[in-house]
Structure 1
Amino acid sequence: MSDDRRRWFGAYVARLRRDARKSQRQLAAMLCAVSGTQSLTRNEVSRWERGERIPDSWLQFIAEVLGVPLGELERAASYARGETDGAPFGAAMVLAELIPPGDSLAPLDTRSGRRIGREDVATLAARVHGFRLADDVLAGGDLMAPVFRELNATVRQYRESTHTEAVGSALLSQIGELAQIAGWIASDAGQHAQAERAYRIGIEAARQADDGPLVANLAGSLAYQFSNTGQERAGLDLSRAALAEAGSDAPAKTRALFFDRVAWAHTRAGEAQPAMQALGQAHDALTEADEREAPAWAYWVSREELEVMDARVFTELHRPLRAVPLLTDVLSRYDATHAREVALYRSWLAIALADANEPEQAAEEARRVVSVSVNMTSDRIASRARVVLRRLQDFEEVSEVRDVLHDHGHLLCA
C-alpha cells in the first residue's frame, strides 16, 4: 500500500472532520456512541489522519457521524489501499492529493527535551510577526537565511520539547505561520523548491493544529506560486481547494484574501469571467459585517490591496482603461517604504499604459521599475522588470522607449 495514498486518505478524513467542526477527541467519542463500543480513542483518530491506519471497520460509523455518503468513503479507502487508480474526487480533495501529510513534525525522543509553555509560544508569535513586518520593507534575498534558521530551529524545538496538548497546538499554529512567511520570502528570492518545502511543512503543522484558515492560507500561497511559475492548472485547482478548506465561516478578511487568489489563478489560466466573479466575491467578503478578529497573518488585507489585485487582473486581461486609473490612484497613496510592492505595482501600470498605447508614460514607469530591480535581491521584481522591457519592444520607434531599452535592454539576457 502506498504511503502517499495512506497519507492522502488521512488528510481526507481530517478535512471531513474539520468540515463537521469536530475535534479528534469529539469524533472519537461520537464514534464510540454510535458503534456501542468504548474502544476508540483520540489517538486512534490521529493515527487515521496521519495515514498510519485505514479505519476499514469504522467507515460506516464515520459516514454516519460526519454526514458523508458511505460509498464516497469506501472509494477513498479503496484508492488508499491501492485497489483503484486515480484519485476519486475533484477540487474539494485537491488539497489532500497535491499536498499529502508528511512526517516532518513527527516527535523525536523528548526524554531530555525541555518543557515549553504559553510564554514560549507568545515569544515565537512576536518573532513570526517581526518577519512579516520585515518582509514589507526587505527583499527575499535579504531574509532567506534568518527566516529558514528560525523555521528549522522552531520545528526542532517542537519535536524535542514536551508540552501540554493546548500549548502543542498553539506552537504548531505558529510553525505554520512561520512556514508561510518563510515560503513567501523564498519565493520572492526565486527559490521556489525551498518555498514549496516550507509551505508543505506549514500545511502539515496547521493540519495538526486543526487550523483550517491557516491551512488555506498556506495552500493558497503555494497555489499563487504555482500560478506564477507555469503551473496554472495546479494553481487554479489548489486555490479553489484552499478556499473550500477555509470554509464559509472563516473571518471575512481571510475569505477576501482567498477569493483574490482564486481570481488571480483564473486570470493566469486565461479564464476572464470566473476571475471577475471571484474579484467581486473578494470585495463582498471584505465589506461583510464581521466582529471576529482576523488572524495576525491577514493584517495587510484591505480595500486598497484588493484594488491592486483588481488592477493586476485587468492588466493581465488587457483591459487598460480599468487598470490604469486604479493603479494610479493606489500608487498615489501607497506607503513609499514598501519599495518592492511599489515597484511591482508600477510594473503592472507600465504594461497597462503600453496596452493603452501610451508608450512614453510606459517607458517612464519602466525606468522606475528597473532602477529598483537592479538594487534589490528580489527575483519577483527582477522578473517583472524583464516582462516590462519585453512589452516595450513593440514601441522601439518611440524615443523614450528606445532610450530605456538602450540603457537596460541587457537585462533581457539575464
Structure 2
Amino acid sequence: MSGIGAHIRRQRERLGWSQARLAREVCRAAGVVGDPVGRQEVSRWETGKRTPREWLPFLAAALGVSVEALTAPQTAAEPPLPTLADFLPAEDPLEPLRGRTGGRIGMGQVDDLQQRVHGLRLADDFLAGGDLMRPALRELRKAVRLFREHSYSDLTGRQLLVQIGELAQIAGWIASDAGQHEEAERIYRLGLSAATQAEDRTLAGNLAGSLAYQLSNTGREVEGLDLSRAAMDGAGPDAPPKARALYLDRVAWAATKAGGTENAQHAMRALGEASQALSEDSEGIESPSYLYWVDAGELRVMESRVYTELRRPLRAVPLLREVLSEYDATHTRELALYLSWLAIAYADANEPEEAAATAERMLTLSADIASERTAERGRVVLARLAEYEDVPEVASLLAEHPAA
C-alpha cells in the first residue's frame, strides 16, 4: 500500500465512512454530476493500484485535511489491518469465472480447507482479532479463488460454499473483535450469500445471528433485534439444539440492548428457551462441529450479562462468580470480558471496592490483547466506576488508567 493510500484509508476510517461514502463526498467536493469516482476507484487509491492525481485536492477537501496530510511520507508503524476489498475481486466474489483454468478439484481440497477453517476457529479461542485478521482474510481469498477458478462436481461445489460460509463467520467475528465493524459486516454478508447458495439454513442462521450481535453492540439495536429474530426463524424449528440455543441467546441479548419493559420480558423468555434447547443436545441430535463452544456455561454468561444490562446485580453477580470460578484462564480475552461485566454488576450493587479490584484484574489481563472489544469494555467499566471516584480504591484505579 502506498503512503497516500494508507493516509486516505486512515482518514476515511477516522470519519467512519465507507469507501462508497467517500466516493460520493469527493464528487460533491469537486462539484461534478454523476459518479466519475466510485467505490472501486477509492479502493484502488487505498491499495496503491492507482494514484488520485487530479482528485487529490477534492479528496483532501472531502476528508477535511490538507493535501500535505495525504501526501506526507508514511512513518514506519504497524501496517493497517487489511479489508475485504484487499482480498476479493471487485465484481461478485461468488460468481464462477467463465473458462475456468484452475483445473478440477475434489473433496480432498475441501476437506483440507475445512481443517484450516477449524484451526482458525480454535486459534480465536486464544488470540485476538488484531492478531488473526490477516491470516483469516488470506484464507477467505484462497477459498473464494478455489470456488471461482476451478471446476468441480455439484456436491463438491456445495461443500466448498459451506466452507466459505464457515470461514466468513469466523473471519467476520475476528474483524468485529478488531473493531473493523464495516469490514465484518461485509464478510458476514459474503458468508450469508455462500450459505444461502449452499442451502445450509443452520449456517445461514449462524452468520445472520453473528451480524445481529454486532449490530446490537454498535448502536443499531433495532436492526440487531430484527435480524436476530430473522436468523432464528430462517433456520426453522428443526435446527440442531446448540444452534437453536445460540440463536435464542442472541435474541435475548438483542432484546436487552433494544431496551424497554416488553423487550426485557422477551429477553427473559428467550434465555429460558435457550436452556431448554440446549438440554435437547443430550438426546443424540447432532449439532455442527463449529458450535463446539456452546454449552451451559456460555448460556450462564449470557444470562448474567442480560441481568447486568438490566441493572439486576443480585442475580448477575452470583452467576458471573460461578462461571468465572470454572473458566479456562488460557482464554484470556473472554476471561477479561466476563470480568468487565462482573465489575459493572458490583458497581450496580454499590460495592465499589469489589468493582475496582475486579476492574484492575480485567485491565491487567487485557493490556496486551489486540481486541477492540476488550478495550471498549475497559472504557465502559472505568466510566461506570467514575461515579465512585471518592472511594480510594476507585480513585487509585482511575489514576492508574487515565488513558482508558
TM more than 0.5: yes
What is the CA deviation profile of residues 207-244 of structure 1, one whole-angstrom value per residue up to 9, with x for unaligned ones? 01000010000000000000000000000000000000
Paired AA for residue 272 in structure 1: A
1:153 aligns with 2:170: no
- Partner Cα distance (2:234, 2:304) in 1: 27
Q: How does 1:23-172 map to 2 (within 5 A)?
A: 103-172=92-161
Instruction: Say which of 211, 218, 223 aligns to 2:212.
Output: 223
CA distance in 2, matches of 1:323, 1:212: 33
1:388 to 381, 387, 390: 381
Which amino acid is 2:279 matched to? T
User: Which residue type is aligned with residue 149 of structure 1?
Assistant: R
Q: Does 1:297 align with 2:290?
A: yes
Q: Does 1:331 align with 2:331?
A: no
Residue 196 of structure 2 corresponds to residue 207 of structure 1: yes
Asked if 1:175 corresponds to 2:168, the answer is: no
Match for 2:96: what amino acid? Answer: P
The corresponding residue for 2:365 is 372
Residue identity matched to 2:110: V
Aligned residue in 1 for 2:310? 317
- Is residue 2:253 matched to residue 1:264? yes
**Counterpart for residue 267 of structure 2:** 275
| Structure 2 alignment gaps of length 5 or more | 1-90
- Give the structure 1 partner of residue 354 of structure 2: 361
Instruction: Name structure 1 gaps, 5 residues minimum.
Output: 1-101
The CA deviation at 1:293 is 1.4
Residue matched to 1:232 = 221
Task: Give the CA deviation at 1:374.
Answer: 2.3
- C-alpha displacement of 1:369: 1.4
- Structure 2 counterpart of 1:308: 301
CA distance in 1, matches of 2:365, 2:329: 12
Q: Show CA shifts across 1:240-263 (max 9, x none).
A: 000001100010111000000000
Instruction: For residue 296 of structure 1, report the CA deviation from its aligned partner.
Output: 1.5
* Percentage of identical aligned residues: 61
SS in structure 2 of the partner of residue 116 of structure 1: coil
Amino acid aligned to 1:381: T
Spell out structure 1 runs of 4+ moving beyond 6 A.
none
Shift of 1:109: 2.4
Indicate conservation of the 8 Å contact 2:178/2:373, yes or no: yes
Q: Secondary structure at the match of 2:301?
A: helix
C-alpha deviation, 1:110, in angstroms: 4.0
Cα distance in 1 between the residues matched to 2:101 and 2:115:
27
Residues 277-308 of structure 1 show CA distances to partners (whole Å, capped at 9, x for unaligned) of 10001001011254221111111000010000
Compute the TM-score of the two structures, normalised by the length of structure 1.
0.74
1:153 CA drift (Å): 1.4
- RMSD, matched Cα: 1.0
Q: Is the 8 A contact 1:307 1:326 kept in 2?
A: yes
Aligned to 1:46: none
Q: Tell me the amino acid that sits aligned with residue 376 of structure 2.
A: S
Supply the AA of the counterpart residue of 1:262.
V
